[in-house]
Amino acid sequence: MTTTTPVPRSRPRRPGPREVLRAADVRVVRDGRPILHDVSLTVRAGEHWALLGANGAGKSTLLGLLGARIHPTHGSVEVLGRRLGRVDVRELRTYVGHVDPRHPLAEPLRVRDVVLTGVTGSVAPVPRWRPTAEQEERADRLIRTLGLEGHRDARWPTLSHGQRGRTLIARALMPEPRLLLLDEPATGLDLPGRERLISALDELRRDRPPLATVLVTHHLEELPPGTTHALLLREGRALAAGPVTEVLTGETVGRCFGLPLDLERRDGRWNVRIRRQA
């Protein structure tokens, strides 16, 4: 078993204005195989980032770094001015909401109970733990915000993929995080489910202006209109990063996916198609 020497605590670097997280030249190697190559990213309060790339580009790995779930092989990650390796990651995770559609829930919990597990950070309710009246009120408010009021007492196995996704977003928001990470939240959704999810994310943006979000997808059609920035990944390398008006062009997205593409944006939503050859 490999042991690690404790890293002495140091005073956190003072983050930039409204800075929520910073990844600097991060590299991740697994079993001798590089997953990420010197990727850098800075997210500020109120920004809504999209991580885009083909399958295997390293999107979910980068999201795991940003959520303090894994550590980089090289480089640094700072969340709220605290550097991974020099802080208790359990403390950091209370400020970061992580939404994974593969949530490993096996019990037939009601929607409200699933949302309340966001307080304890557990998959199932903690024995002998009882939420406060304020926590119950917050759970009910989030359920309404995410359009689930009619399913408050519905049990997990009876929910559609879309209803589960919105339930997990409400759960992630229970601790009032400053950063929300979404790992392909539209996976498995039909068209109505996808559109309800996108509407819910845009409503969150309006209701919580300081909240920063990072959403992983490989479908531009899944991006909410409020998306402000994008990072394009190809084979573990960053091709472009910055405001969506600069990054999401047919040329850059085409290079990212290895196809000649045309992009169109209408009413804040993107549409992409393969460019016809002359």
Does residue 137 share a domain with residue 86? no
- Mean pLDDT, residues 207-213: 90
pLDDT of residue 10: 37
The pLDDT of residue 5 is 36
83 and 199 belong to one structural domain: yes
User: Which pLDDT band holds residue 207 (cuts at 50, 70, 90)?
Assistant: confident
Q: How confident is the model at residue 204 (pLDDT cuts 50, 70, 90)?
A: confident
pLDDT of residue 212: 93
Strand partners, 98: 181
Place of tokens 């949302």: 115
Are 32 and 89 within one domain?
Answer: yes
The verdict on residue 245 lying in a domain is yes
The order of strands in the sheet holding 96-99 is 96-99, 179-183, 212-217, 48-52, 229-234, 237-243
pLDDT tier at 68, thresholds 50, 70, 90: confident
Closest to 52 measured CA to CA, from 244, 278, 245, 268: 244
Domain count across the chain: 2
239 and 121 part of one domain? no
Say if 82 falls within a structural domain. yes
Question: Is residue 2 scored above 80 in pLDDT?
Answer: no
Residue 3 pLDDT class (50, 70, 90 cuts): very low
Dist. CA 61–CA 71, nearest whole Å: 10
Amino acid at residue number 40? S
Residue 52 lies in a domain: yes
- Pairing state between β 74-79 and 96-99: unpaired
Q: Which two tokens stand for residue 277?
A: 């050859």
Q: Is residue 22 domain-shared with residue 85, that is, in the same domain?
A: yes
Tokens of 190: 């039909």
Tens of pLDDT, residues 87-120: 776 777 777 888 877 788 888 999 999 999 988 8
Residues in the chain: 278
In a domain, 258, yes or no: no
Domain boundary among 125, 149, 176: 176
The owner of tokens 């359920």 is 143
Q: Residue 236: its pLDDT value, please?
A: 92
Asked whether residue 257 is assigned to any structural domain, the reply reads: no
Q: Is 208 in the same domain as 152? A: no
- Least confident stretch, 90-104, 117-131, 195-209, 210-224: 90-104
> Is there a single domain that holds both residue 83 and residue 117?
no
Q: Is 10 among the domain residues?
A: no
- Structure confidence at residue 105 (pLDDT): 84
227 has pLDDT over 90: yes
Query: Phi-psi bin for 4: left (phi > 0), alpha (psi -120 to 50), beta?
Result: beta
Structure tokens of 69? Answer: 């779930």
Instruction: Mark whether 168 and 190 lie in a shared domain.
Output: no
User: What is the pLDDT at residue 278?
Assistant: 58
Please provide residue 99's backbone torsions phi and psi, each rounded to the nearest 5 degrees.
Answer: -110, 115
Q: What is the mean pLDDT of the chain?
A: 86
- Using DSSP's 3-state secondary structure scheme, residue 248 falls into coil
Residue that is last in its domain, among 159, 176, 193: 176
- Which CATH number goes with the domain that contains 245? 3.40.50.300
pLDDT at residue number 218: 86
| pLDDT at residue 224 is higher than 50 | yes
Give the model confidence (pLDDT) of 8-64 as tens digits: 333 444 445 588 989 999 999 988 899 999 999 999 999 999 999 998 899 989 998
For 143-154, letters b (16+ CB in 10 Å) and e give bebbbbeebeeb
Taking alpha carbons only, the member of 170, 167, 148 closest to residue 156 is: 167
Same domain, 54 and 164: no
59-68, 84-93, 181-190, 230-239: segment of lowest average pLDDT: 84-93
The whole-angstrom separation of Cα 4 and Cα 254 is 42
In a domain, residue 144? The reply is yes
Consecutive H or E run containing 99: strand 96-99
Statement: residue 208 has pLDDT above 60 = yes
Counting residues of the chain whose pLDDT is more than 90, the rounded percentage is: 47
Whether residues 91 and 113 share a domain: the answer is no
Arithmetic mean of pLDDT, 110-135 = 90
25 and 91 belong to one structural domain: yes
Compute and round to an integer the Cα radius of gyration of the chain. Answer: 19
For residue 156, give its domain range: 106-176
State residue 27's pLDDT score.
93
Examine the domain organization and report whether 188 and 86 are in the same domain: yes
Q: What distance in Å separates the CA atoms of residue 156 and residue 164, rounded to the nearest whole number?
A: 7
User: pLDDT: is 124 or 50 the higher one?
Assistant: 50
CB contact set of 110 (below 8 Å; sequence gap of 6+): 152, 153, 154, 155, 156
Query: Within a 10 A sphere around the Cβ of 120, how many other Cβ atoms?
Result: 14
pLDDT at 248 (0 to 100): 94
Is 270 part of a structural domain of the chain? no
